[in-house]
Structure 1
Amino acid sequence: MEEIIRKLVRKFKTNDPFVIAKGLNIIIRYAEFGPGTRGFYYRRLRRRFIVIDSCLPEEWQRVVCAHELGHDRLHSGLSQFWIDEHTFFNTGKFERQANIFAVKLLTQLAEHEPGETEESYLLRCGIPKQLHNLEM
């Protein structure tokens, strides 16, 4: 996973998931979803799509885009929905891997500052608190 992320960041000279998705010819769409769905990834007729809940704040849209990009890079044969449940991240192996991919991508270009806590570092990188407890 780390090598995939390093190659993407090196190729596109950014860790912005929207820029990377565009560079990979993944079409990004927005739609309003009901409670529980933040986004999903799917393929149709050789075209790849990431659909993001338009009602999410920008910070979460960025995370969802990175998460769905993880599905594209790690689970290309699957169309997984990112569905919240009460446990939020107890959603299976593929969802956990896509969450880890998102955090690693979004932190790829940022260094820890001296004396900075892990929580402060993740917040500075735009990682919501709900993703801070992932074991990587």
Structure 2
Amino acid sequence: MDEIIHKLVRRFKTNDPFVIAKGLNIIIRHAEFNEGTRGFYYRRLRRRFIVIDNGLSEEWQRVVCAHELGHDRLHSGLSQFWIDEHTFFNTGKYERQANLFAVKLLTHSTEQELGETEEAYLLRCGVPKQLHNLKM
């Protein structure tokens, strides 16, 4: 996973998931979803799509884009919905991997400052508190 992220950042000279997705010819769409769904990734006729809930903050849209980009890079061929843990769906291994991919991508180009707590560092990188429990 780390090597995949490193190559993406080096190739596109950014860790911005929207720029990377565009560079990979992944089409980004926005739609209104029911509570609990923030976005999803799917393939159709050899085209790849990331659909993001348009009611989310910019920070969360960035996180969801990074998460769905993780599905594209790590789980090609699968269309995974990102469902909040408060639903009856099992988030499972693929969701945890995509979450970790998102956190690693968003923190890739930013170093933790001396004396900075991990929580402050992750918040500075745009990682919401809900994802701070992931083991990096």
TM-score (norm 2): 0.97
CA deviations 1:18-43 (Å, max 9, x no partner) are: 00000000000000000000000000
1:112 CA displacement:
0.8
Deviations 1:64-91 (A, max 9, x none): 0000000000001100000113279961
Tell me whether 1:80 sits opposite 2:104 in the alignment: no
In 2, are the aligned partners of 1:103 and 1:127 still within 8 Å (CA)? yes
Moved over 6 A (4+): none
How large is the RMSD of aligned CA atoms in angstroms? 1.5
Distance in 2 (alpha carbons) for counterparts of 1:20 and 1:34:
27
Change (3 A) 1:112 1:88: farther
Among the aligned pairs, what percent are the same residue?
86
Looking at structure 2, the residues matched to 69 and 88 of structure 1 have their Cα atoms a distance apart, in angstroms, of 24
| Native 8 Å contact 2:17 2:66 kept in 1 | yes
State how 1:16-27 maps to structure 2 within 5 Å.
Answer: 16-27=16-27
Structure 2 residue aligned with 1:133: 133
Distance 2:41 2:12 in 1: 21
Unaligned runs of at least 5 residues, structure 2: none
For residues 53 and 87 of structure 2, the distance between their equivalents in structure 1, rounded to whole angstroms, comes to 20
Paired residue type of 1:41: Y
TM-score computed with the length of structure 1 as normaliser: 0.97
